[in-house]
């Protein structure tokens, strides 16, 4: 194998690695977006519950007490 073939093979492997990493980064970006939306929704829900003055269910006494 001459030097040019070795370089072409190395470039092919590096190109594949970059494409694989790009796919991983794209999936992570989607997951971060999903988790950001979920966090925002939960924060809004908590803010609404705080605004109504309701005690969280964990802090309320059960009805049999």
pLDDT in tens, 8-36: 999 999 999 999 999 999 999 999 999 99
Model pTM score: 0.65
Pair of tokens at residue 45: 């829900």
Is residue 4 assigned to a domain?
A: no
Is residue 41 assigned to a domain?
A: yes
Is residue 3 assigned to a domain?
A: no
Question: Is residue 64 predicted with pLDDT exceeding 70?
Answer: yes
Is residue 40 assigned to a domain?
A: yes
Is residue 8 assigned to a domain?
A: no
pLDDT: which is higher, 48 or 21? 21
Q: CA 48 to CA 54: how far, in whole Å?
A: 9
How many domains are there within the chain? 1
Q: Which domain holds residue 24?
A: 14-48
Contact 23, 17 (CB under 8 A): no
Is residue 25 assigned to a domain?
A: yes
pLDDT tier, 65 (very low <50, low <70, confident <90, very high otherwise): low
């Amino acid at each position: 194998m001459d030097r040019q073939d070795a370089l072409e093979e190395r470039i092919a492997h590096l190109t594949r690695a970059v494409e694989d990493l790009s796919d991983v980064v794209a999936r992570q970006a989607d997951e971060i977006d999903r988790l950001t939306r979920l966090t925002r929704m939960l924060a809004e829900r908590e803010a609404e519950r705080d605004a109504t003055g309701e005690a969280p269910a964990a802090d309320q006494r059960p009805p049999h007490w």
